[in-house]
């Protein structure tokens, strides 16, 4: 058996051309697919080349830039925070960052909850209402947190409170969209049960929908916590509190060891927040549902 | 009704008491858990309110400034329709349309080039970070940590450093987006690779094909459409990010936007924001259409 097989392979390999003749449908070149693939590659490289020209990117500048960057990285080591006063300042700014992220996320989710229901097709059947709500949420979301921070600074002045409000505003748009999608994807059986036993519309939402979707929504909020911690680390560059202001200042002062220390601090904080929020998510919704939310 | 109810057998009182006790216990445990959770949240709120310098008095006394600011940016400051709503004179409202569209175009190209370069690096990194393709724990560890670093540091933080190294302009913006994209796409890509079916890979390896050839002909055909789909999604995110790169001098429309906000050119703020929202929505719709075509083609096969 084995020898028959190996001799078959030997014969096949001795004359690959014969196989091609015997099975033309396998060896036929699929020009249409190939043209599509080659076309996509050529177009994407073409746009990239055009972008390089239009953006005026010179290789000389890229090279000198990278050598300068290499020098910065060299002087970044070892990372340091200078004296204890600076360390206290940095750690305080980091706690401020966490506070901004937490409060911003919490406020956004509380505000977005009613709008999530309003934008969900299975709660509000009125087409106009959920069209307007959805587009409004989209518009809010497409303005970046830093821009919202600049606007809120005009209202409450410089400082972390403006950062909290900026994250709240931007994520209000995001959560509204995510929540409405989660509510639309919810199992309708419980709602039907409530209605069939004589419950009204609000009963249906409160007892039929809310218990099912709430863990999913909390999962999404916790997931966003990590991303918002990262946003809160940079929101300080426009004066809205947190570690970002120090980061920017140390770059201006050419204190690269401090920049490296602040970067490490950011990385550790984000990792810790990520770890904690994942743990809490596991505790609330369990492992099986956790994977289903993504 | 009454007769049918009567046919329901009543539980023995002892059993009923036992069940009710269990029910109360379960509910009590759940309530206690909820209570502890709420207490923690309240504690965090207290901590955050102090460190976030929350000032509700200031907030509520100034909240009208927010609504009036939003209203104010939609009022013209100059021209024959000065003092009226911007919609009264669209030409005056979008007086800088030529410059702004060029900057919007620049923003899109920054986002494209950043996604393109980052996507290519992520493409190669993904195969080196996939547990089912690479045996060496050292390689896996190094590539994964590098990708993690790239995606944890925010784009704008990279941009600030690159502006010092490369000078002002779109170049630092492109590089910042490229590095962050490498981290973000690299993770998504290697997760796709790890979910690929490796039977074809085994088949190729058994014929004596090298690792590179096996990956090329056995794994790549399975993962490529997912890669493209994720890259398109990232492009959309990068257009949003590209719009703020100008805040730190890294090119794009952000430069004019921050200037308009800081110098109180009210109607310019709304004009630029409207342009950004429109651009993001159009890119959003376009990539969505491309992705759904890609996915439907995948499903057709």
Note the pLDDT of residue B182. 94
* Tens digits of residue pLDDT in B163-213: 988 888 899 999 999 999 999 999 989 888 888 888 888 888 888 888 888
Whether A292 contacts A226, CB under 8 Å: no
pLDDT for res B159: 92
Contacts of A96 in chain B (CB under 8 A): 51-53
Q: Is some CB atom of chain A closer than 8 A to the CB atom of B243?
A: yes
Q: What is residue A271's predicted lDDT score, i.e. its pLDDT?
A: 87
Q: Please write the tens of the pLDDT for every residue from B125-152.
A: 988 888 888 888 898 899 999 998 898 8
Q: What is the mean pLDDT of each run of 10 residues along chain A (294 residues)?
A: 64 72 77 82 89 84 85 81 82 88 91 84 74 82 86 84 90 88 81 83 81 83 87 88 86 86 88 85 64 44
Pairwise CB contact (< 8 Å): A241 & B277: no
Q: Tell whether B258 is within 8 A of chain A (Cβ).
A: yes
Mutate to test the interface with B, among A91, A144, A160 (most CBs of B within 10 A): A144
Q: What is the pLDDT of residue B34?
A: 82
Residue from the list B54, B112, B280 with its beta carbon closest to the beta carbon of A161: B54
The answer to whether the CB atoms of B170 and A52 lie below 8 A apart is no
Beta-bridged to residue B85, according to DSSP, are B75
DSSP code at position B168: S
Residue of A62, A75, A103 for testing the chain B interface, max B β-carbons within 10 Å: A103
How does residue B115 score in pLDDT terms, banded at 50, 70 and 90? very high
> Out of A55, A95, A248, whose CB is closest to B110?
A55
Q: How far apart are the first and last CA of chain B?
A: 57
Residue B192 and residue B223 in contact, taking contact as beta carbons nearer than 8 Å: yes
Q: In the predicted model, is pLDDT for residue B94 greater than 50?
A: yes
* Radius of gyration of chain B, Cα coordinates, nearest whole angstrom: 29
Confidence check: pLDDT of B122 > 90: yes
Which residues on chain A are in Cβ contact (under 8 Å) with B41?
106
- Mean pLDDT on B146-161: 89
Paired tokens of B185: 């796409």
pLDDT of residue B297: 64
Mean pLDDT of chain B: 84
For residue B105, which residues of chain A lie inside 8 Å, CB to CB?
Answer: 54
Q: How far is CA A141 from CA A145, A177, B84, in A?
A: 9, 9, 27
Compute φ and ψ for B85, nearest 5 degrees: -65, 145
pLDDT for the residue A127 = 76
Q: Does B61 touch chain A (CB under 8 A)?
A: no
* Cβ pair B112, A47 in contact under 8 A: yes
- Which residues, listed in sequence order, are joined to residue B75 by a DSSP beta bridge? B85
Please, which residues 105-144 of chain A have a Cβ atom closer than 8 Å to chain B?
106, 138-139, 142-144
pLDDT at position B46 is: 86
Exposed, middle or buried, B87 (CB in 10 Å: 0-12/13-18/19+)?
exposed
Q: Is B62 on the interface with A (CB under 8 A)?
A: yes
Residue from B195, B164, B196, B186 nearest B231 by CA: B186
Count of Cβ atoms closer than 10 Å to residue A141 Cβ:
20
Of B49, B59, B165, the CB nearest to A69: B165
A192 upstream amide cis, omega within 30 of 0: no
Cα–Cα nearest to B180, from B172, B192, B191, B168: B172
What pLDDT is attached to residue A293? 43
Rounded Cα distance between A201 and A203, Å, is: 5
Q: Which domains does chain A have, with CATH numbers?
A: 2-57 (no CATH), 84-292 (1.10.3720.10)
- Chosen for mutation from A41, A91, A102, A169 (greatest number of chain B CBs closer than 10 Å) is A102
Contact (CB, 8 A) for A148 and A142: no
CATH topology of domain B94-300: MetI-like fold (1.10.3720)
Asked whether the beta carbons of B111 and B235 are under 8 A apart, the reply is yes
Eight-class DSSP state of A119? T
- Read off the pLDDT of each residue in B22-26 and give the average, rounded to a whole number: 88
pLDDT of B218 over the 90 cut: no
For chain A, what is the radius of gyration of the CA atoms?
A: 28
Residue pair B175/B158 in contact (Cβ under 8 Å)? The answer is yes
The pLDDT score that the predictor gives to residue B173 is 92
Minimum Cα–Cα distance from A266: chain B residue: B153
Residue A175 backbone zone (phi > 0: left; psi -120 to 50: alpha; other: beta): alpha
| Tens-digit pLDDT profile for residues B224-278 | 888 888 898 899 889 988 988 888 888 889 888 888 888 888 888 888 988 988 8
Q: How far is A96 from chain B (nearest CA, A)?
A: 5
Residues of B in contact with A106 (CB under 8 A): 41, 45, 48
**Residues of chain A positioned with their CB less than 8 A from the CB of B167:** 61, 65
Residue A88 CB burial class (10 angstroms; 0-12, 13-18, ≥19): exposed
Interface test with B, best of A36, A42, A43, A51 (most B CBs within 10 A): A51
Confidence of residue B49 (pLDDT cuts 50, 70, 90): confident
Taking one residue from A and the other from B, the number of pairs with CB-CB distance under 8 angstroms is 169
Joined together, the tokens standing for residue B284 give: 């959003």
Q: What is the share, in percent, of chain B residues with pLDDT greater than 90?
A: 16
Q: Which residues of B touch A164 (CB under 8 A)?
A: 48, 52, 54
Nearest CA to A237 out of B160, B54, B150, B1 is that of B160
Contacts of B238 (CB under 8 A, 6+ apart): B110, B111, B112, B114, B115, B177, B181
């Amino acid at each position: 058996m084995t020898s028959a097989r190996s001799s078959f392979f030997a014969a096949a390999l001795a004359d690959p051309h014969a196989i091609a003749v015997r099975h033309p449908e396998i060896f036929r070149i699929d020009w249409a697919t190939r043209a599509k693939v080659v076309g996509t590659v050529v177009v994407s490289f073409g746009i990239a080349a055009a972008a390089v020209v239009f953006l005026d990117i010179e290789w000389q500048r890229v090279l000198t830039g990278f050598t300068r960057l290499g020098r910065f990285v060299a002087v970044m080591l070892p990372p340091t925070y200078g004296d204890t006063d600076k360390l206290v300042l940095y750690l305080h700014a980091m706690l401020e960052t966490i506070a901004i992220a937490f409060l911003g996320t919490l406020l956004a989710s509380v505000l977005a909850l009613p709008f999530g229901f309003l934008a969900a097709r299975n709660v509000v059947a009125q087409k106009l209402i959920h069209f307007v709500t959805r587009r409004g949420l989209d518009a809010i979301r497409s303005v970046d947190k830093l821009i919202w921070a600049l606007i809120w600074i005009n209202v409450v002045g410089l400082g972390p409170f403006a950062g909290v409000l900026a994250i709240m505003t931007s994520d209000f748009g995001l959560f509204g969209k995510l929540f409405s999608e989660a509510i639309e994807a919810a199992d309708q059986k419980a709602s039907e049960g409530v209605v069939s036993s004589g419950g009204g519309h609000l009963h249906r939402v409160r007892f039929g929908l809310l218990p099912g979707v709430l863990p999913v929504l909390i999962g999404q909020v916790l997931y966003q916590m990590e991303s918002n911690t990262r946003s809160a680390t940079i929101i300080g560059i426009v004066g809205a509190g947190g570690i970002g202001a120090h980061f920017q200042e140390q770059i201006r002062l050419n204190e690269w060891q401090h920049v490296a220390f602040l970067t490490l601090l950011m990385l550790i904080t984000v990792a810790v927040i990520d770890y904690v929020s994942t743990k809490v998510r596991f505790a609330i919704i369990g492992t099986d549902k956790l994977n289903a939310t993504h | 009704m009454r007769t049918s109810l009567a046919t329901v057998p009543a539980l023995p009182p002892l059993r009923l008491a036992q069940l009710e006790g269990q029910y109360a216990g379960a509910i009590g445990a759940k309530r206690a858990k909820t209570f502890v959770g709420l207490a923690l949240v309240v504690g965090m709120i207290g901590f955050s309110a102090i460190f976030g310098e929350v000032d509700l008095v200031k907030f509520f006394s100034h909240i009208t400034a927010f609504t009036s600011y939003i209203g104010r940016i939609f009022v013209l400051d100059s021209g024959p329709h000065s003092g009226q709503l911007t919609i009264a004179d669209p030409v005056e409202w979008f007086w800088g349309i030529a410059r702004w569209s060029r900057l919007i175009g620049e923003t899109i190209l920054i986002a494209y080039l950043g996604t393109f370069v980052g996507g290519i690096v992520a493409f190669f990194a993904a195969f080196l970070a996939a547990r089912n393709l690479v045996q060496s724990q050292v390689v896996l560890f190094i590539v994964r940590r590098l990708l993690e670093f790239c995606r944890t540091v925010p784009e704008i933080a990279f941009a600030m450093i690159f502006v010092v190294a490369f000078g002002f302009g779109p170049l630092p913006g492109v590089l910042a987006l490229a590095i962050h994209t490498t981290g973000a796409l690299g993770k998504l890509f290697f997760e796709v690779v790890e979910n690929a079916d490796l039977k074809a890979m085994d088949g190729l390896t058994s014929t004596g094909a090298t690792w590179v050839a096996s990956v090329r002909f056995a794994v790549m055909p399975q993962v490529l459409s997912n890669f493209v789909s994720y890259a398109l999604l990232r492009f959309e995110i990068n257009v949003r990010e590209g719009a703020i790169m100008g805040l730190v001098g890294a090119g794009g429309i952000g430069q004019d936007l921050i200037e308009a906000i800081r110098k109180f050119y009210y109607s310019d703020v709304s004009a630029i924001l409207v342009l950004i929202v429109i651009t993001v929505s159009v890119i959003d719709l376009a990539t969505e259409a491309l992705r759904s075509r890609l996915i439907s083609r995948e499903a057709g096969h």
